Amino acid sequence: MYRGNAMVLYSQGADGVYTFNFFEPGLSLWWELGDLGKLASLNKDYVWDYLPSHRKKSDLLWELRLSGRRPNVKVTARGCEPIPLMVGEDLTSPPPEGKARSLLLRVHLRGPGRRLHFRLNGGNLTDVSAYSDGEGTWFEVHPPAGLFRIGENLLEVALAEASGRESEVNEVRLEVRYPPKEDT
């Protein structure tokens, strides 16, 4: 998650990434976050932070962060508020030398498993798999890189059929991995 956050900051024009109140020189985190070239070729996760409507409820975003509570997103057959997922790299560009790139979008729905429809930046996501974790259902899909753009990406989720019970998305995560390229 730190790597993904750092890439978003660089994509927004930051010259560097600084951390406070903690320093352990032996951790790779310190040389990764400060080196954009190295960071670009490392595995990273981009996670959903807050919805625009959450920010309107508080004048200061840090108040939301300090509470440790991010409201879940209610999902109906009509859909949900678009969930912004910030991405800090061009996923359509060639991967680093000697590496491949794989993308896995994971969405967690609290409550019983349901059939859902997913759209990312207006494009439908298909071939979605699902599994239960005891607290809800994880939905996973390998989205095409062409659906993503640097910066804000909007994920829309809708129930496949109307139901009397509400469902809630409580986590969205894009896992970007750079495994070694297999010789063909």
On whether residue 9 sits in a domain, the answer given is: no
Domain hosting residue 60, numbered range: 44-177
Domain count, the chain: 1
Strand 167-177 versus strand 151-159 pairing type: unpaired
On whether residue 52 sits in a domain, the answer given is: yes
The rounded percent of the chain whose pLDDT value lies above 70 is 79
DSSP annotation of 77 = T
CATH number at residue 97: 2.60.120.1200
Amino acid at 128: V
Q: Supply the mean pLDDT for the chain.
A: 82
**What strand order describes the sheet that includes 83-87?**
83-87, 151-159, 116-120, 123-125
On whether residue 5 sits in a domain, the answer given is: no
Please write the tens of the pLDDT for every residue from 32-85.
777 778 888 889 999 987 555 545 555 555 454 555 566 788 888 888 889 999
Burial class (CB in 10 A: 0-12, 13-18, 19+), 6: buried
On whether residue 75 sits in a domain, the answer given is: yes
- Mean predicted confidence (pLDDT) in 4-25: 74
On whether residue 39 sits in a domain, the answer given is: no
169-to-53, 86, 108, 128, 165 alpha-carbon distances in Å: 15, 17, 6, 15, 13
